[in-house]
Structure 1
Amino acid sequence: MSNPLPRDLWTEILVSLPVKSLLRFQCVCKSWKSLISTPTFISMHTQHSESVHNYTHLLHYNSYRNSKTPYQLLHTDGSFNESQELEYPCQMRCGDHQFVHDCKGLILFTTVNEVGPDDNRFEPLTLWNPAIRMSMTLPRPRINDVPEPKYCIHGFGFDQTSNDYKVLRMFYHNYASSRPTQAELYRLRTGAWETLMVAEDSFQYYFSTKMQAFVNGASHWVVWPMAPGSRKRAVLLFDMFDEEFRVMKLPDHLSLGWGRSIGLGVSGGLLSLMENNNPYGSVNLSYSIWLMKEYGVVESWTKQFTIDLEGWSYGRIFLFRNNEKVLAWNRKNERESEESVLYDPKTHRFIKVGGIKGKGYLLGKNTFVESLVLLDKLNHIQT
């Protein structure tokens, strides 16, 4: 061309394109390939995707399917009729995952035998970017030989200040143990693990679930005290920016609701809470949905609505789309396949959902962002 466009303008144009187009355009010329794979461009593209393509997704794992594509990425159009089959990362054995965390286009797999005194049991952590079909195995952590009994928790998030993904890995013991809690942090930018200093009072708790809720730059978990006789639950958080643990109180109604499970989530960028209103063993289940309207302010927890699961023997619910809908699973007995339904809190009606194949588990429930992250990593593996 006689009057080529300035580089800044080319960058602005390319940043607005979807991932599939950019992967093809790497073959146009060396300068485009070099530009698209730079950390600066990848960061700019992710930020643009967040501001424009902010549709909701669920990552669904089908436990009955034995193939290279046991995952579905479900895009919501109000009915979840659209889905995309995803190939399993080739360096992982299908079904060996224990928990899955997702954040800004990356998915973290932890495995059943992630750590143990016997080196033969060790299974590494894996980061996966389904948009570019690439994954990478994290280096072996520093903390490997942890005496029994132990409890392993993972956190995964993004530090907006340093523009970096971070993986938290921590071990704690029961209250009768004299062993200190251990924690370490992996930073994607440096590609290395670093041991963290942990204050003793940060881990005087049991975790009610290993699944995190990542919001406001921090991973959150529901916990309850280890000390005998104490039943006041709270929220333990790990801030990805200052890399410190803190405890956030819950209102008395939620902190003292012993015998009723609660779980954390994210809705519309706010920390959400799902409270099971029935004691363990009840047949007729109902859940109350709460939102923390002002982050960090205990008094701002506000009940949004309550869902009566209409006599289902088992139910799992997932809040999404700014409280507009709730996705629930219904299983009448152990032999019947699960049914998925949408609950509309405005009409109090349940609608069957299409697009979800077979029986399985929901592994992620955040705003999906197509990203180029891992494209610039030398040790990535193509799926």
Structure 2
Amino acid sequence: MLINRNTHFLSGDAYMETLALLTETLPNNKIMNTSSTSSHFPFSDLPYDIITHILATLPVKTLAKFRAVCTSWRTYIDSPSFISKHRNLYNKEHSKNSHLLIEETYSPRRFCLQRVTNGQKLTTLVFLPSFSAHPIIPWIYGACNGLFLMRMNGIYLWNPFLRKSLILLPCPIVTPFQFTHYVIGFSTSYDDYKVLAYRLRTINNGNEYEPAMAVYSLRNHIWTIKINPVNVDAWTSLRAPFSRNKYVYCGWIVYWFPEGDTKIIHSFNFNNEEFNNVAVLEPLKECMSLVLFSIGELLAVMSSSSIWVMEKHDREYTWREWSSESWIKNVFDILEEQILEEEIPISPKVFFIEQSNTFLIIGFWGGIQFYEVTSQKLETLRNKDARFYFWGAYVDTLALITGTEGMMFTRFP
């Protein structure tokens, strides 16, 4: 991969800064002479695989700058294959111990995108301000793999790390006076972000539902109407208040409990674009309360005495007991206590951080706590004083690298 220096777009100082950044990423036994006056980049003699590996380990802000080096680099960084490689390689090392959340504040009225790091700090990444005398802020439907789905004068996908956004084409199932709901997900089979849109209209004096459903593909930039959609019960539970806080993402499937029922789990598969139901294990059906979360890529269910995970063997899904140790009751009691304290009975969001054997517990009104399993200690990062929405593991993505500058989003200084 030879890059002629005469074709680069950077000034001399920026050019040398780019070389210095690449130098820092090389293994210790690879020495680069950044003061070289050669007509080629000093690293041009490195194998192509090494160069691409180095690039895939850099954050998106750095790669956005590197797009200005030359046409070849811009084309490569913008390619779907590199975006996929970067998402898998970079985040494998950098997303383990931190999660993204959105805080809703009222003075001033705005949303703040926060990054919470395991047991240490809460960092503000970006805020979404209002734009008029009357507070108008985006409606946020959810997030997946670093992209947020929101509505503000249209349905948007937004990459907060690049400040890029994309307004989707009008959804074909949208009709006047019928609210359309949206869920974002990721298809691993097609390496594609997708948006599920659905609505239910009552007919026959409210005795029946007329459902409609469509799926948007970011790769193809089209909506596809799904004929004869099924599982209306699953849709109904998605329409319940605060349902966006109930999603649990495991790979290409999103799971949630029906409203007021923990004996069955609804799911939507973004690979085959189908709904499904998962039966809760028989011993857990007698429990009055269950907590749905994930352990790595596995769906997990917590009762007051045990945690079970769902695994796939061949083509069948089976439940396996993950733990029944005494500390589980401690975590469960913490969750139950938070539910009783809330003005609205909404379960806190739970994330299990495998690397530190820690539970991250986020209350709806802003409380952030960490429970360390080994020491069985509970630490409070902050008490509740604002409303939070919860989106899961931190993911730094190049998706929408060629999108429109997000004019409605402003980065903190």
Amino acid in the other structure paired with 2:248? A
- Which residue of the partner structure matches residue 26 of structure 2? none
- Which residue of the partner structure matches residue 363 of structure 1? 390
CA distance in 1, matches of 2:166, 2:268: 24
**Structure 2: tracts of 5 or more residues without a match:** 1-37, 343-347
Contact 2:310/2:319, CA 8 A, preserved across alignment? no
CA distance in 1, matches of 2:135, 2:308: 36
Q: What TM-score, normalized by structure 1, do the two folds share?
A: 0.75
1:18 CA drift (Å): 1.8
1:108 CA drift (Å): 1.7
Contact 1:64/1:358, CA 8 A, preserved across alignment? no
- Secondary structure in structure 1 of the residue aligned to 2:319: helix
Amino acid in the other structure paired with 1:270? L
CA distance in 2, matches of 1:267, 1:232: 19
2:232 aligned to 159, 178, 203, which one?
A: 203
- Which residue of the partner structure matches residue 115 of structure 2? 74
- CA distance 1:238–1:301, change in 2 (3 Å): farther
- Which residue of the partner structure matches residue 290 of structure 1? 307
1:218 aligned onto 2:289: no
Higher mean C-alpha displacement, 206-215 vs 18-27: 206-215
1:54 aligned onto 2:78: no
- Secondary structure in structure 2 of the residue aligned to 1:241: coil
1:324 aligned onto 2:357: yes
CA distance in 2, matches of 1:101, 1:142: 21
1:185 aligned onto 2:215: yes
Q: What TM-score, normalized by structure 2, do the two folds share?
A: 0.70
CA distance in 2, matches of 1:73, 1:288: 32
- Which residue of the partner structure matches residue 334 of structure 1? none
- Secondary structure in structure 2 of the residue aligned to 1:181: strand
Amino acid in the other structure paired with 1:343? Y
CA distance in 2, matches of 1:65, 1:274: 37
1:63 aligned onto 2:105: yes
Q: Which structure is richer in relative contact order (CA contacts within 8 A, separation 6 or more)?
A: 1
CA distance in 2, matches of 1:95, 1:273: 37
Contact 1:100/1:363, CA 8 A, preserved across alignment? no
1:10 aligned onto 2:51: yes
- Which residue of the partner structure matches residue 280 of structure 1? none
- CA distance 1:191–1:27, change in 2 (3 Å): same
Aligned positions, number = 341
- Secondary structure in structure 2 of the residue aligned to 1:161: coil
Contact 1:222/1:263, CA 8 A, preserved across alignment? no
Amino acid in the other structure paired with 1:79? G
1:23 CA drift (Å): 1.6
CA distance in 2, matches of 1:242, 1:327: 31
- Which residue of the partner structure matches residue 175 of structure 2? 145
1:361 CA drift (Å): 0.8
- CA distance 1:218–1:328, change in 2 (3 Å): closer
CA distance in 2, matches of 1:33, 1:91: 34
- Which residue of the partner structure matches residue 44 of structure 1? 85
CA distance in 1, matches of 2:297, 2:387: 26
Task: Give a deviation string over 1:59-105, Cα, whole Å, max 9, x none.
Answer: 1313334266x3132242x3141413313289999764444422222
Contact 1:39/1:376, CA 8 A, preserved across alignment? no
- CA distance 1:65–1:30, change in 2 (3 Å): farther
Higher mean C-alpha displacement, 100-109 vs 261-270: 261-270
Alignment root-mean-square deviation, CA = 3.5
- Secondary structure in structure 1 of the residue aligned to 2:258: strand
